[in-house]
Amino acid sequence: MINLKNKPFYLQEQDIEWVEETLDSMDLKEKVGQLFCTVGVMDDKEQLKTFLNKVKPGGIMYRPDKGEKIQEIHRVLQDNSKIPLLISANLEAGGNGIATDGTYYGKQMQIAATDDENMAYKLGIVSGREGRVVGCNWAFAPIVDIDMNFRNPITNVRTYGANSERVLRMARKYMEGISANGLAAAIKHFPGDGVDERDQHLLTSINFLSVDEWDATFGKIYKGMIDSGAQTVMVGHIALPEYSKSFVPNMKDEDIMPATLAPELLNNLLRDKLSFNGLIITDATPMLGFTTTERREIAVPKAIASGCDMFLFNKNIDEDFGYMLKGIEKGILTMDRLNEAVTRILALKASLGLHRQKESGTLVPNKDALSVLKCEEHEKWAKECADKSVTLVKDTQNLLPITPEKYKKIRLYVLGDSEGGFKEGSAVTDSIKLALEKQGFEIYLFDNENLDFGELFEGSVSSLKEKYDLALYIANIETASNQTTVRINWTQPMAANAPWFVKELPTIFISVANPYHLLDVPMVKTYINAYSSNEYVVKAVVEKITGKSEFKGINPVDPFCNVWGSKL
């Protein structure tokens, strides 16, 4: 039973009346439409109207674009929807999660490195304010995964680190900030990512913790967030075998499902044991962790039948819509479960006041509100966060700080630097080079594309030391979906850009996207983690390596990767 007056909805009688009257007024197809949170791909007004009239979705999510364009798309969506839409975005690192001209405040691990809950609160405020002005009302954040496995390619800097207590503290404060701006938070990815070393975008990943281990870590976090009022939970295509078997003792291994299709995890664990009364949404269903588990015709209705309330994204919306209807016809999804799911969707909308905003025409702010994007206050906070987060992992050669008097000529190596895909980070090559040149250094950029084969095969140690005083590595190898590793791949032939010269030339390695590169460069004696590739971090890094600012960050994870020699 859903108690709409209780946590997390807290609806008043008039709000409950709207939910009930709206539900009663809907036909079957309108109810099915509410189950879908579709991916936004169109920006043509007439196409959008046609889509809305056909599907009548409950929610939608667009990828980031210019704030003004996104705001106008959201306005068209809301103006042409009878029932207000849940409009979502991955507001994990700031307003840049929906507006490309918004503030890239910092990755979650950067915030964790400050060990300052106020920085997490400000991340929530920035994300909430900037998401709200373009029309968002739902943040697919905070990530409450625990980065237990340094080899995991998708959690990494998107998490608040490896300490469950810190994860909970930071996530609570983020949720407080996002909620203060009228957005619902979706804590993700239940039952918890970061345990194995694989990505649910590519297969069903496994959280292999025992029941007791899960309770003491992920369970504590989810219980804490639910008790603090989390309104929605995003469920991953992640299996939790030990817990599934604890609820269904005779379950065979081949019957263990990812959480999105596992009623024992959604109902027995999340609903009953953790007392979650809010809305459950699947993670994106084109992911292989979902598509490879069950025939889509069965999996689409089964996700809702198992306990999810909304279905995120589609392979094909017309086909998935038909699968949902067919699932009802075949009895996979009952009308009672459909009505329960739609009730929770409407209750979330009511708890956010979307029905009242619809009446007053305030679902999407006016264009003047866009001035908050990357405003002075938000940039000030982002600079403070960068200053407090940059972490000196080791300097066993006592190299820092560096000055132009001692290390005038710097050979700069940049690894990664925005290689496409759904990566939100910025390229850092030009900004690092310019910042160091302003300090009086001469910068010689290694060209990864046009190799000097004379240097590679005939270059001597003495000639290297004559040309350069110091080697500086900047690694911007971003965590992103649909990749199996986040490792350094050196340029061929002969690992041309690798630091073979660490015993010959003073060398510094700085990572702005992944804290675990000591796995691949344990021989480097001066190593710094900065977690995010935004402009504020770049400035803070240069100030710190030149001695104009002290290092203040703490390690939210073990950057030494338990590798012998990496601390030397």
| Residue 418: per-residue pLDDT | 61
pLDDT digits (tens, 9 = 90+) for 505-520: 999 999 999 999 999 9
47 close to 75: Cβ distance less than 8 angstroms? no
| Residue 300: per-residue pLDDT | 98
Of the chain, the end-to-end C-alpha distance in Å amounts to 58
Strand positions, DSSP E, 330-457 = 391-395, 409-416, 442-445
Give residue limits of the domains in the chain.
13-370, 390-545
Average pLDDT, the chain: 96
196 close to 152: Cβ distance less than 8 angstroms? yes
pLDDT band at 276 (very low <50, low <70, confident <90, very high): very high
pLDDT digits (tens, 9 = 90+) for 437-471: 999 999 999 999 899 998 999 999 999 999 999 99
The predicted model gives 180-201 an average pLDDT of 98
pLDDT digits (tens, 9 = 90+) for 20-45: 999 999 999 999 999 999 999 999 99
Question: What single DSSP character describes residue 143?
Answer: B
Q: Longest Cα pair distance anywhere in the chain, in angstroms?
A: 82
Among the listed residues 283, 309, 417, 520, the single catalytic one is: 283
Q: Could you give the C-alpha distances from 32 to 24, 246, 306, 312, in angstroms and in order? A: 14, 33, 16, 13
The predicted model gives 268-293 an average pLDDT of 98
| Residue 468: per-residue pLDDT | 98
pLDDT at 389 exceeding the cut of 80: yes
pLDDT at 426 exceeding the cut of 90: no
Sign of the torsion angle spanned by Cα atoms 237, 134, 351, 56: negative
pLDDT band at 480 (very low <50, low <70, confident <90, very high): confident
| Residue 1: per-residue pLDDT | 72
pLDDT digits (tens, 9 = 90+) for 57-98: 999 999 999 999 999 999 999 999 999 999 999 999 999 999
pLDDT at 48 exceeding the cut of 80: yes
pLDDT digits (tens, 9 = 90+) for 109-159: 999 999 999 999 999 999 999 999 999 999 999 999 999 999 999 999 999
Question: Residue 283 catalytic?
Answer: yes
pLDDT band at 423 (very low <50, low <70, confident <90, very high): low
Cβ partners under 8 Å of residue 416, min gap 6: 475, 476, 477, 478, 513
- Report pTM: 0.96
Q: For residue 474, list its beta bridge partners.
A: 414, 510
Q: The domain at 390-545 falls in which architecture?
A: 3-Layer(aba) Sandwich (3.40)
416 close to 478: Cβ distance less than 8 angstroms? yes
pLDDT at 493 exceeding the cut of 60: yes
Two domains, one topology: 13-370 and 390-545: no
| Residue 428: per-residue pLDDT | 93
| Residue 425: per-residue pLDDT | 66
Range in 26-35, 283-292, 418-427 the model is least confident about: 418-427
How far, in whole angstroms, is CA 368 from its chain's centroid?
28
| Residue 420: per-residue pLDDT | 44
Helix spans in 218-311 (H): 220-227, 241-247, 263, 288-291, 296-306
- Give the relative orientation of helices 117-133 and 164-179 as an angle to the nearest 10 degrees: 40
Q: What are phi and psi of 326, to 5 degrees?
A: -65, -35
Q: The domain at 13-370 falls in which architecture?
A: Alpha-Beta Barrel (3.20)
Concatenating the DSSP letter of every residue in 72-87 gives HHHHHHHHT-SSPPEE
pLDDT digits (tens, 9 = 90+) for 392-401: 999 999 999 9
